[in-house]
Amino acid sequence: MNIPDTLRTRRARNADIDDLARRRLAADDATTARRGRLTLRRAFHGFVRAPSPWIIAGLLADALAARVAVGDWQLTDALVPVVMVAAFPFTEWVIHVCVLHWRPRTLGRWRIDSLLARKHREHHADPRVTGLVFIPWQTFLWLLPALLAIAAFAFGRLGLGLTFLVSVGFLGLVYEWTHYLVHTDYQPRGALLRAVRRNHRLHHFKNEHYWFAVTTAGTADRVLGTYPDPARVPNSPTAKALHQASGV
């Protein structure tokens, strides 16, 4: 084997991948510039056109009304949302890594590949398609019954289960709004949202194996080892084609 030739080939390939990443970001920035400045009001008008925010808002409103009607307030009703908010970055990370980035598998004659994973691969292929930013409405056909079952049987009393549902609805809306907003042309003013947007763009345009957080500025990523220095991370040729063989 000619080692110098191999090194030259590897360097040339890395340069091609770096150029690809730069072109992806340049194209995204150019699209943002062409569309002009997007206000939060205009962004919100686009947000409410999607079905999932309405489904989650309906869950939140119904759960909140039921929670007020049931009463029976206890200290644990304050503890549950605190625990859920603290755990949410890690829950989000696990779902992103294990569910959304699921690599399709074959078990005998069966192909194991969920709708969420398929839609997320489409989302990576074209991050600007608004319809692919949101949770697919079909997911709620099984998710809502599952959440209701958890609320009814996992908490010991109805009031606490309803507190759980209220927390789920609130966190779900935060997730959908944040994920939607960082994929629009809106330019955040606050440092926190700017950091969230920057990290998510790194995930989509630089390397899909890092920066899995969506609603926080890398909280779970920092703890779980997926928040590296971007300068030390190679650009991935498969950021827009998840699980495909590497190639430019």
- How many angstroms separate the Cα of 225 from the Cα of each of 9, 37, 212, 222, 238? 30, 35, 11, 6, 20
Tens digit of each residue's pLDDT (9 = 90 or more) over 80-128: 999 999 999 999 999 999 999 999 999 888 999 999 999 999 999 999 9
The span from the first CA to the last CA of the chain, in angstroms, equals 24
| pLDDT score of 65 | 98
- The region that residue 190 occupies, defined by phi over 0 for left and psi between -120 and 50 for alpha, beta otherwise, is beta
Q: 248 pLDDT band (50/70/90 cuts)?
A: very low
Half-sphere exposure of 8 (CA within 13 A, CB side): 5
Beta-bridged to residue 107, according to DSSP, are 110
**What is the pTM (predicted TM-score) of this model?**
0.84
Instruction: Please tell me the least confidently modeled range out of 9-18, 48-57, 97-106.
Output: 9-18
| Predicted local distance difference test score (pLDDT) of residue 37 | 78
Q: How far is CA 158 from CA 20, 68, 81, 155, in A?
A: 54, 12, 15, 7
27 token code pair: 């194209």
Q: 105-107 and 110-112 as β-strands: parallel, antiparallel, unpaired?
A: antiparallel
pLDDT of residue 243: 86
Q: What are the pLDDT digits (tens) for 166-213?
A: 999 999 999 999 999 999 999 999 999 999 999 999 999 999 999 999
Q: Where are the domains of the chain?
A: 53-232
The chain-wide mean pLDDT, for the chain, equals: 89
pLDDT confidence of residue 27: 61
- Res 247: pLDDT: 42
